Amino acid sequence: MAIQSQESELHGGSYRIGVDVGGTKIEAVLLAEGNRVIRSARIPARHGNEAVIDDIVTVASRVCEDDFTQVEALGIGTPGQVNHVSGHVDNIVNLEVTSLDMGPLVAERTGVHAHVENDVNAAALGAAAALGGSSVLPGTVAFLNFGTGLAAGLVQDGVLLHGASGAAGEVGHIPVEPHRFKCPCGQYGCLETVCSGASVARLWPSANPAMPDLIRRAKRREAKAVDVLDMVVRAIGDTIQIVAQSVDPAVIILGGGMAKTGEPLVQVITAELRRREAQCRFLESLDLPSRLRLAPLDQPVGAIGAALAV
């Protein structure tokens, strides 16, 4: 268990707690005014309904030192199928959870209203806040999560966009990738089958993490690396273009494990977008490369966003 504290004790005021539920760890932050993280804690994740609730309550208790009286709200970001209205979650596969009333159970244990969000949505809001300083970036912001899967979180003036059924941003399952690989969702050719972190690891199993090595070896003009990188980056370009032409975000944040590649990833994506611009004045007028940002790697954006989503 790890704890970081910027303030030794809570002073009078109103605080928010954000919890980020992951497959291997559960992390919490205590937020003060101005989106300041004043305390954080992290514990290993355990499997099963009861363990997940216990761990969420435990890590939340750590950041507020077991005093929830000054906590106005508690937000949770989690994988799985999330009903953000009821707080119910289905199918957190990595934690062996099939059905869980996460929000109500955490609220019952802490005495604080608990709001539950999809983890990508929470990370989108957290990244928009981290890049915005003391406030969330204004206008429309898209967060592209290149993790185990591929999805987008959409934020409009600090408010998450869910859509009618909560499926807003599920760009990874748009079946337009020409290689037509089978997707776990049942379709063929989903973008996720080529440009998610898991798919890149499958396409380029020579190194872990795969993307930095793939880019390095493609720059050395190794034929196989060039072919695989071209496939991956074209799919990323399609993803960015679909999101950009659908919601026209002012900022497009690249997040998820693959974004840890850093500037080399931004460079190859920019080159692909510029190639497309050279063939299309419309795309040139959008100047999509200028909208790209990397998610801050030194901040717990999932937990921060969970706190702000309440």
Order of strands across the sheet that contains 88-92: 81-83, 88-92, 97-100
pLDDT of residue 220: 97
DSSP line for 266-282: HHHHHHHHHHHHTT-HH
User: What residues contact 79, with CB distance under 8 A and at least 6 apart?
Assistant: 21, 22, 23, 92, 93, 94, 118, 119
pTM higher than 0.85 for the full model?
Answer: yes
Domain 133-294 is classified in which CATH homologous superfamily? ATPase, nucleotide binding domain (3.30.420.40)
Q: Are the C-beta atoms of 35 and 304 separated by less than 8 Å? A: yes
Q: Which two tokens stand for residue 198?
A: 């898991």
pLDDT of residue 135: 78
pLDDT of residue 35: 86
Weakly modelled stretches of the chain, pLDDT under 70: 1-13, 134
Same fold, 2-112 and 133-294: yes
Cα distances from 24 to residues 19, 52, 66, 75, 97, in angstroms, run 14, 11, 24, 19, 14
Rounded (10°) CA dihedral 42, 43, 48, 49: -50
- On the question of a cis peptide bond just before residue 209, with omega within 30 degrees of 0, the verdict is yes
**Tens digits of per-residue pLDDT, 236-289?**
999 999 999 999 999 999 999 999 999 999 999 999 999 999 999 999 999 999
pLDDT of residue 12: 59
User: What residues contact 105, with CB distance under 8 A and at least 6 apart?
Assistant: 53
Alpha carbon distance 216, 273 (integer Å): 20
Cα distances from 243 to residues 153, 200, 236, in angstroms, run 10, 21, 11
**Tens digits of per-residue pLDDT, 286-301?**
999 999 999 998 899 9
pLDDT of residue 231: 98
Q: For the chain, which residues make up each domain, given as ranges?
A: 2-112, 133-294
2-112, what's its fold?
Answer: Nucleotidyltransferase; domain 5 (3.30.420)
Q: Are the C-beta atoms of 268 and 256 separated by less than 8 Å? A: no
